[in-house]
């Protein structure tokens, strides 16, 4: 009789474990589906972020180039002003 009780308990335990396993397998599939859906929804935002990052990097390069060009023009302006000042002083000496 004890053996029959143990077998009944074992059978019930197996049934419970199988049921739990099916429940968790179903839940796992649902979560996998949800993950794929959310990943697909997130992809456009990722692409926008990549595009924005590329634009930002391009603007940084352009800004550095323009800053360097501005410095060159400032130096050229200073040289020309220096020459004009020199020419004026020479002209004043001769007058």
Give me the residues of the chain with pLDDT under 70, please: none
Residue 28 has a pLDDT of 98
Percent of the chain past pLDDT 70, that is, above it, reads 100
Tell the residue number behind the tokens 């996998």, with chain if given: 32
Residue 90 has a pLDDT of 87
Residue 44 has a pLDDT of 96
Helix ranges (H only) for 1-95 are: 2-94
Distance CA 72, CA 74 (A): 5
Residue 2 has a pLDDT of 86
């Amino acid at each position: 009789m004890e053996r029959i009780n143990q077998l009944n308990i074992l059978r019930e335990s197996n049934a419970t474990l199988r049921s739990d396993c099916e429940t968790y397998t179903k839940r796992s599939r649902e979560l996998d589906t949800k993950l794929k859906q959310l990943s697909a929804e997130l992809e456009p935002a990722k692409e926008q972020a990549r595009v924005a990052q590329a634009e930002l990097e391009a603007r940084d390069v352009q800004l550095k180039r323009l800053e360097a060009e501005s410095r060159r023009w400032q130096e050229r302006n200073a040289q020309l002003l220096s020459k004009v000042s020199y020419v004026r002083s020479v002209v004043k000496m001769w007058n």
